[in-house]
Every structure is written in C-alpha cells, then in structure tokens.
Amino acid sequence: MAWRGTRRLAVPFLVVGGIIAVALAAPVLPLGDPVTIDVSARLTPPSAAHWLGQDEYGRDVLTRIVWGARASLAVSFLAAAIAGVFGIILGLLGGYFRGVVEILTVRSAEAVLCFPPLLLALLVLTLLGPGAGTLIVALSILYAPTYARVAYAETLAARNLDYVVAQEALGARSGRILARTVLPNVAPPLLVQFSLTVASAMVLESGLSFLGLGVVPPEPSWGLMIRGARSTMDQAPWLLLWPCLALTGTIVALNLLCDALRDVLDPRGRNVTANPFRALTGNLLSRTSPPQVSKPELLRVDGLTLEIAAEGGAIRPVRDVSLSVAPGETLAVVGESGSGKTLTGLAVMGLLPPVVEIVSGEVHYTDRTGHTYDLMRLDDAAMRGLRGDEIAMVFQDPSSSLNPVHRVGDQVAEAIRAHRNVSAAEAWRQAVGLLDQVGLPDAARRARAFPHELSGGQQQRAVIAAAIANGPRLLIADEPTTALDVTIQAQILALMAGLKHQSGGMGMIFVTHNLAVVSEIADRVAVMYIGEVVEEGPVDQVFATPRHPYTIALIESVPEGDDDRLSAIPGTVPPLHDLPPGCRFAPRCGFAEAACTTADPPLERIDGKRSTRCRRWRELA
Amino acid sequence: MTTVPLLVEAKGLTKTFRARQSLFGRRRDILAVRDVDLSVGGQEAVGVVGESGCGKSTLGRLLLHLLAPTAGTVRFDGQDLAALGSDQRRRLRRRMQLIFQDPFGSLDPRRTVGNQIADGMLIHGLATDAQAREAVGDLLEQVGLEPTHATRLPHEFSGGQRQRIAVARALATQPDFIVADEPVSALDVSIQAQVVNLLADLRQRLGLSLLFISHDLHVVRHLCDRVAVMYLGRVVETGPAAALFEAPAHPYTQALLAATPSLARRRDTGRPPLSGDLPSPSDPPSGCSFRTRCPHANSDCAAAVPPLEPWASDGHRVACWRAAEIA
C-alpha cells in the first residue's frame, strides 16, 4: 500500500513542490530585477530575452511571475494554515465538549461569517493599513470560522463513535483523546478544506491587491499583475494570461495534492476494482435456447459461478452452486458472512452489483404460464417484468428498503401499479388490504404513515406487503429477521410461514446465518461455505444426521447445550484470494486427511434427496 | 450469591434523555433506565438481556459512569463514582473496561492495533513504552493472536479477530470489571463460539467480574451466573441463570424464551408469538410496562408499578403482580 500511495502522491507533490521551490529560489535564479523599469520596452511581446514579454512599465513578466508567487503563495498558505490551526482547535473543542464551550468557540466564531467576506477583509485592512502582513491577518480571521464549522461537524459525528468512547473508558484525558483519536479521524475533510482555503485565499489576495489593499506596488504579486494588465488589455492581452495561468495552475495542483493526500492517509485501501470490459464480456454468454425442464420445479440453479475482478487476480465468491426450489417449498440458504449466500440470491433476482461477473451457470425459472427459461440469458426488460411480479425480494434492513419520504401505503401501491394497470385509488385500496394481511395494526390509518413512524417490525411487514403485492411465485428473503428483536422475529417468521400456506405454491428462498431460524421456517436447507454449497437436503435430516464436517461444526457451535465450553470451529475463514488447495474447509476440519488437501471434492448424492461435498461422508455417519 | 463481596453496586439507577421530536415540537423525556438496582460480585458474571430499546446498553454505560445518571448511585469497590473528582474517576477507569458490539467501529482505523492496546497502559503509567510493547505481544497471545500482529492496522483483521483485539485492549490495564456490550452479536456463529469461550477462559483465569449485555439468551445462559431481564428501562426479573431459564416467572421472560428460535425444538404451534411492539420509552404505559403486550394482564396491572420481589429460589426476584397466579 505504501508504494501505491507514494506513486499517487508523486505527481501533484512534485508540481506543488516545484512551484514552491521556484518561488523560494527567486533571488538566486538568473532572473532580472522585478521592479526595474524599462519604459522604452513597455508591452513588448514575448522574446528570447523576455520569455513572457514585458509589462506596461517594461518590467520582465517572467521575473514578476516568479517574484509574485512569493507574495501570493506566502499570503495564501500562511493565512490558510493560521486559520486552520485556530479554526480546528475551536471546532474540536466545541464539538467535543458541547455546552458552554460550544457557544464560546464555534458559535462565536460563526459571528464572523455574518459579514460579507470582502467587506470584512476591507474593514481589517482599513484598520491595520495595507501590506502582506495585514492581509494574512485579515484572511486568517476570515477563514478560521469555516474550518471551525467543518471540524465541529466532524467532531460531533466522531465523538460518539465506539473507538472514541473506548478511549474515554480507558481513562484517557480529553486532550489526548482529541489529539490522538479525534483529530486524525476528522482530518480528511479538513485537508480538503485547506486546499479550498488556499485557493480561495489566493483569489482574494489577488482581488484585494487588485483593489490596492493587499501587497503594495511596486512589489509584485499575481493580483497586482492582473490589475496592471487589465488597463492594457487591448494592447497586450497576454499580460493578463500569464498571472491567471499561474493562479489557476497552482490552485489545481494544490487541489490534486490534497485529494491524493486524503486518500493516502486513509489506511483502508480499495481492493476491488471494477473492470467494465469484463462485465461486458459477461453479457456475451452464448444465448443458446435453454433446455426444457420436465420436473415441476419453480427454480433450478445449475452450476452458478460468479467472479469479481480484484487487484491480486479474480476471486470467485460463488462457485458451482446448484439449488432448486419447488412450488410451495422453502429453501433456506445458510452460511456465515462471505459464504456467497446473498450474492446467490441477488444473482437469481438479476440484481448483481456491476463488479460481479457471471462466469457460468444457468438459472431455470418456470413462470405462471408454465414456460421455462434461463434467467441468466434474459434481457433487462424481461427481467424487470419478472422482478416484483413473479419474483419478489425482501431485504435485511427494513428501514433502508423503504423510501423515507413516501408513505408506506404509496410504496405498496407503487409496487402494484408497476406491474398492473389499475387506478391509483384501486391500488391504494389493495395496498391497505395487503398491509392488513401482513398484520399491520390499524392498516387503513397506518398506510398513511411514513416509514420512520413505524417500528422495525412494522416496517418489515410493510416491506413484505410490497413484496407479495403481485402474488409472486418466488420470494427471496435475505436475512429478513436479522435486524429485528426475537419477539418481533417470531412474529415475522410466523407471518412468512402463514403467507406460504395462504398463497398456495409460493416458493421461498430464505437466506440466513441463523441455524435455529432455518429449523423453524425451512423445508430444505443448503449450507454454504466460501461460495460453495457443502451440504444440501431436507432440514430434519440434515440437522439430525449432518453429512459434512462444516455442518456438524456449525450445529455444535450453537450455544444451546449444557456443555461448559462451546465447540468452536478453529481458525478463520480463509480469504477468497488465498484459498487452500483441495477442499476449502480442510484446514479447519477435524476429519481432513491428505487426500482432502489435494483435489476438490465433488458434490456427491447421498440418497435421492441429499448431497454433500465431503469425500469422507460415509465415515461421518 | 449474597455472600460474594460486591464489586459494583447500583441503587435506584435512572437515566432520562431529553429529546425533541421536531424543530418546534415539545421536548420529550426518554426514560432509558428506570430505578434499577443491580450488583456484580467479585468474579461474578451477570447477564443483562432484553430487546433493543430496553435500556441495557445505557445501563452498562451508567455502571462505568461513561454516562452520568439522572438519579441513583453507582458504587465501585465501595466508592460512589459520581462523588469522585474527575481525576480520581479517571484513575479508577483502569479497573473497569468496556467491550463494544461492533468490532469494526470500536477500533481506530488509523492506528496500529499494538498502539491501541498499549494506550491503557501508557495512559495510566503502568508501563514504559518498551514494557508496553512487550506486554502487547503477551496480550495478543492471550487472546489467540500473534505478537507480530501488533504492527498491523485494524482493517487487516476479520471481525472475530478484531473482537479479540478489543478484548486485549480491555485487558491491558488489568481490570477487575468488564462491561461487554453485545460483544458477539456482530459475529458469525462459529466465531461467536470462539469469542464466548475466550471470555469464559479469561474470566476464570484472571478472576474478572463481567457484565454481559446481550439479546441472545442462549449465550447468556451459557456464560453467566446471574441474569437480569430488562423491559422498557426496568429490570422485570432477576436471578441465578439456571433457575431463571428453567422456570421463568415473568410473562415477558417466558415470551422471550418462547420466541428465541432453537435448533433443539421446532416451534410448537401452542404458544402464539408475543403480539405488538415495544411501547415508546418516551411514553411508557402506566403501571407495569409490559401490560400492553402481556397475555395475563388485567386492570390491576395498570394501576401501579409491580415491585421486584423475591420469588421461588434464592436470589430469584420478579416484578409481576400476577406471578403467583401464572405459575
């Protein structure tokens, strides 16, 4: 990461460093004197002796640009830095201590913001007299409150973060917490603020010098040069160009530097990069006509493999996954985080994020009319027609699945009208009926509520109402009860079990990490580990006589027994870019033998209904 | 249980947050914790269970005086935390620590885990820089990680490993009392078991007192000696873990146990799930807070708040007017 960061920093750093170095080195550079007047050569265009030409008094423009950079950069950098130091201190104190301190620091600093900036600068300059020093003071006063506000807002957000509270719990003094923990974490937006302030100070310096209140002539500054060039714009327009270019170039370079600095200071680098070309080729899978399926299945996933292009090579978060759901059946897909269970659900919905590419696999779906087709090869419009109509989805977090600015009744009605041609009034009537059906108390009135006016359980009921609005034949529920409390979870599970019976034939894929929930809701279960289905079969049989060591270990790690120690699976889930050879579970498996670490175990059929991806399953019985 | 010398003792603990509903709305008081008595003995593990919004996390922070109580006192080893000067209290923090739920939020993303674990030792002057560095290695080994991990940043670790780091940070000051606020809720089951085992081991080995806040009844039953069940800011039932889970006396505890999904038994159709939602903590029902969802509630329940009274076995107490009739 270090070298990557350095390389990102290099270019803007060299440019800004170069500009500063040239400005600092002005006295030793082979340049003329910036104030020597040569009236005979006034407004001479660029020549070999004077690369950028001569100005209205015949002074060398290049010399004045370089010397002017000293004034412009010194004023803007110093002003931005001084304002930053004071503003950040005020903001940190105000945001961390709140109360009286907040009024004394941030709020009083904000009073400054009430004045128009130029007016305020003029006021200070008039009081103290023009000159570079005064200009720095004026600009510092002007910019400090902006820093204070940014620092204050960031501190407010950071002060209740767990790791800040943790410092407090450790007994650290407030000063230490502010300097070591809060400041580094609020720094990124402040860095951006710094680059903006330098740029803005440079412009204001130019403006004030232009008005004759900043740097005093004949001392050069970019603002003064623009001012001088303005009067001779007709005769020598290039004179205006040079200082403007210098100003713009410096500001752009500075912005780039601060952006790069902010990214490099963030220790969490980005690992996954999207590759648009790969996504494109993914869509060019052969569009062969799908084989007809004779079995009365609703959904059959065959050999689904997904790939994400990552920095260290492609990773496969889902590999050779095959599942099936019959009408009226609930299939639980259970696994830990990173097992690929959510991506599998999203793939069926055609809602994979763009970085995920489908390498191979078929998803056969049989629709209401009895036609079977491969969802992977369906075009977007056809898929959109299925989504929300034939196939619906319920997500984990109900508060983020509902739009906070629309009434819940409208959101359910919208789901109806997206697929059926009914009037708004009729859709609303049906929405209220659905909300009533999912057990929202006082549905007619609650339909008018906004999501935030409902509890988490009620929100999830509303989400489910929208999902079943068009009588879907397949419902994919991704951890629908994980964000809910147990008593509410019990309500939602009962509701979902009830829906299945009422709607006759609705199949369900229930994605969860909770084995106990699986045993309550599902008919069949597929256990996933690092992107593979390791065991699949009827819930009762799989839980009573598991035939894969991972399933056994998962069941044993549920803290229900009376044993003194929980049985934990040793080690951690290996990362996708560094998978062990052979069976993916072998390094953590108590049953692993040499053969397990050499070849991938195939998914073996146990009897008609079950399968396992363990070569030693017979010995597990 | 009463013979264990008390390390932490809270009496009549109450915390009210002030909140405004909208810009011009009237201010509302949110009664997060109401009149809670709770004690934790030396080397005892006390579980606090309840659903979100019941005030269990607030209670944990009150016991550490990370929040100042609106009313009531917390004594730590005999000293009233509110009466101490801020400097004395800061020094006392060495002996009490907090472990958070979210292993991704509780570590500073910009500092190495070694520095973060060493913080406590340096803050309290327990070690020099060199000693602290050595101690960090030991602590990492104690929680099942490698000493070489000290130089890494938090994002290089998995959730379970981060929670181990958080445990190591809490142990660094050699505390007597740790509040663990849902420490395993964000972890996968197999990892959850690792961390629960780690906490149980450390408790045994180091003689720690533990306040274990969780909504997972199975984990609490496994780890804790004593349990307090909270509902809407109040403790409605408390007692030895085994007795309370075997024979819950409060209708809420019964409902909570019935609603907890279990591998061992598939839900029998007999008991319908508890209906309705948690009432708003800014406008709790009169009398017993649970009466709006309680299948046994009658008019008496609305009249007055039931006191927490002794129940069947030693140390088992329940706050329900009709406990005797229901049993």
A95 three-state secondary structure: helix
- Examine the domain organization and report whether A365 and A430 are in the same domain: no
Strand order in the sheet with B226-231: B96-99, B177-181, B209-214, B45-49, B226-231, B234-240, B317-318, B309-310
A535 forms beta bridges with A527, A612
- Examine the domain organization and report whether A457 and A606 are in the same domain: no
User: Most B CBs within 10 Å: which of A270, A454, A486, as the mutation test of the B interface?
Assistant: A486
φ/ψ bin of A222: left (φ > 0), alpha (ψ from -120 to 50), beta (otherwise): alpha
- As a whole number of angstroms, the distance between CA A546 and CA A556 comes to 11
Band the pLDDT of A281: cuts 50, 70, 90.
very low
- At A562 the pLDDT is 66
- As a whole number of angstroms, the distance between CA A128 and CA A124 comes to 6
Are residues A130 and A216 in contact, defined by beta-carbon separation less than 8 angstroms? yes
Domain boundary among A471, A489, A509: A471
- Examine the domain organization and report whether A12 and A100 are in the same domain: yes
- At A532 the pLDDT is 94
Query: Omega before A404 cis (within 30°)?
Result: no
pLDDT at A278 over 70: no
- At A321 the pLDDT is 94
Interface of B with A in 57-76 (CB under 8 A): 64, 66
- As a whole number of angstroms, the distance between CA A303 and CA B153 comes to 38
pLDDT at A287 over 70: no
Interface of B with A in 102-131 (CB under 8 A): 102, 105-111, 116, 119-120, 123-124
- At A563 the pLDDT is 67
Mean of the pLDDT values across residues A606-616?
90
Which residue segment(s) compose the domain that A446 sits in?
406-471
* Closest CB to A267 among B98, B155, B189: B155
- At B167 the pLDDT is 93
Number of domains composing chain A = 3
* Closest CB to B273 among A185, A491, A558: A491
- Examine the domain organization and report whether A15 and A147 are in the same domain: yes
Band the pLDDT of A397: cuts 50, 70, 90.
confident
Buried b / exposed e over B152-169, threshold 16 CB at 10 Å, is: bbbeebbbbbbbbbbbbb
Q: Which of A173-182, A284-293, A608-617 comes out lowest in average pLDDT?
A: A284-293
- At B26 the pLDDT is 66
Write out the H or E segment, with its range, that includes residue B97: strand B96-99
Contact A457 B277 (CB under 8 A): yes
- Tell whether A282 is covered by a domain: no
A81 three-state secondary structure: helix
- Tell whether A455 is covered by a domain: yes
- Examine the domain organization and report whether A316 and A336 are in the same domain: yes
- Tell whether A283 is covered by a domain: no
- Highest average pLDDT, of A339-353, A397-411, B33-47, comes from B33-47
B222 — contact with chain A (CB < 8 Å)?
yes
The terminus-to-terminus CA distance of chain A in angstroms comes to: 48
- Examine the domain organization and report whether A445 and A355 are in the same domain: no
- As a whole number of angstroms, the distance between CA A235 and CA A358 comes to 65
User: Most B CBs within 10 Å: which of A159, A266, A552, A566, as the mutation test of the B interface?
Assistant: A566
Amino acid, single-letter form, for residue B259: A
- Examine the domain organization and report whether A47 and A114 are in the same domain: yes
- Examine the domain organization and report whether A441 and A480 are in the same domain: no
Domain boundary among A250, A265, A280: A265
Q: State the CATH number of the domain containing residue A531.
A: 3.40.50.300
Question: Which chain A residue has the Cα nearest residue B174?
Answer: A170
Mean of the pLDDT values across residues A118-132?
81
- Examine the domain organization and report whether A456 and A477 are in the same domain: no
pLDDT at A270 over 60: no
- Tell whether A476 is covered by a domain: yes
B158 CB neighbours in chain A (<8 A) are: 572-573
Contact B273 A487 (CB under 8 A): yes
Mean of the pLDDT values across residues A376-383?
85
ipTM of the predicted structure? 0.84
Question: Which chain A residue has the Cα nearest residue B122?
Answer: A172
- As a whole number of angstroms, the distance between CA A117 and CA A136 comes to 14
Mean of the pLDDT values across residues A50-66?
84
- Tell whether A240 is covered by a domain: yes
Whether the CA torsion A165, A167, A172, A175 is positive or negative: it is negative
- Examine the domain organization and report whether A360 and A426 are in the same domain: no
B188 CB neighbours in chain A (<8 A) are: 336-337, 513
- Tell whether A280 is covered by a domain: no
DSSP string for B120-183: HHHHTT-S-HHHHHHHHHHHHHHTT--GGGGGS-GGGS-HHHHHHHHHHHHHTT--SEEEEEST
Q: Which of A27-41, A378-392, A452-466 comes out lowest in average pLDDT?
A: A27-41
Extract the residue ranges of chain B whose pLDDT is less than 70. Answer: 1-4, 20-26, 265-272
- Tell whether A276 is covered by a domain: no
Whether the CA torsion B229, B230, B234, B236 is positive or negative: it is negative
Mean of the pLDDT values across residues A325-346?
90
Domain boundary among A426, A455, A471: A471
* Closest CB to B193 among A487, A489, A568: A568
- Tell whether A527 is covered by a domain: yes
Are residues A554 and B189 in contact, defined by beta-carbon separation less than 8 angstroms? yes
Q: State the CATH number of the domain containing residue A133.
A: 1.10.3720.10
Chain segment A464-514, per-residue pLDDT in tens: 999 989 889 999 999 898 888 888 888 888 888 888 877 778 999 999 988
Are residues A208 and A136 in contact, defined by beta-carbon separation less than 8 angstroms? no
B267 — contact with chain A (CB < 8 Å)?
yes
- At A260 the pLDDT is 83
- At A289 the pLDDT is 39
Band the pLDDT of A285: cuts 50, 70, 90.
very low
- As a whole number of angstroms, the distance between CA A355 and CA A318 comes to 13
- Examine the domain organization and report whether A151 and A242 are in the same domain: yes
B98 — contact with chain A (CB < 8 Å)?
yes
Chain segment A206-264, per-residue pLDDT in tens: 778 777 777 777 788 888 888 788 888 888 888 888 888 988 888 888 888 888 887 77
- At A284 the pLDDT is 40
B95 — contact with chain A (CB < 8 Å)?
no
- At A290 the pLDDT is 42
- At B171 the pLDDT is 92
- Examine the domain organization and report whether A169 and A252 are in the same domain: yes
